[in-house]
Amino acid sequence: MMAGLRCLCTALLLGLWGASAYAACAPDQVELRGPWGQARFTVEIADTEPLRALGLMNREQLARSAGMLFIYDAPTEPAFWMMNTLIPLDMIFVDPTGTVTRVHSNAIPHDRTPIPGGPNVLMVLEINGGLAERLGIAAGSEMRHPRLDPDQAAWPCD
């Protein structure tokens, strides 16, 4: 009986460990780290042209721990605007290694002024406006996500 209970407990612990290891690099999760600490966001993925064009338009709110991850097929030099976007957003531009190259804070709702991401951008994370600064997310921070090539990633998934 005790051996069976011990096996059950071991199986549960291994299951929890496996779930937490997976959660660290789940497709709907992004983790960022830097000298400021770590943060995790639950994200919607925008990896097609129609999804990237729609983005977070017409949303009246975004949960504090949520965001949208724009993923390109190859590094590019994207530009964003806020037409039909109702809430201020931070845009975190990331290169193919997962390194943050630029942060644009508090993009203004409905503004049609292009927001350049710079060259060599593979992903862009949009989160609530002002949150990147409050957390300390800046150029040089590292992002982890399963869509980053583990052979290139500064912080690869396990």
Fold of the domain built from segment(s) 27-144: Jelly Rolls (2.60.120)
Q: What is the pLDDT of residues 104-158, one digit of tens each?
A: 999 999 999 999 999 999 999 999 999 999 999 999 999 999 999 999 999 999 8
Contact 143/123 with Cβ under 8 angstroms? Answer: yes
Encoded amino acid at 71, one letter = I
Query: pTM value?
Result: 0.85
pLDDT digits (tens, 9 = 90+) for 52-101: 999 999 999 999 999 999 999 999 999 999 999 999 999 999 999 999 99
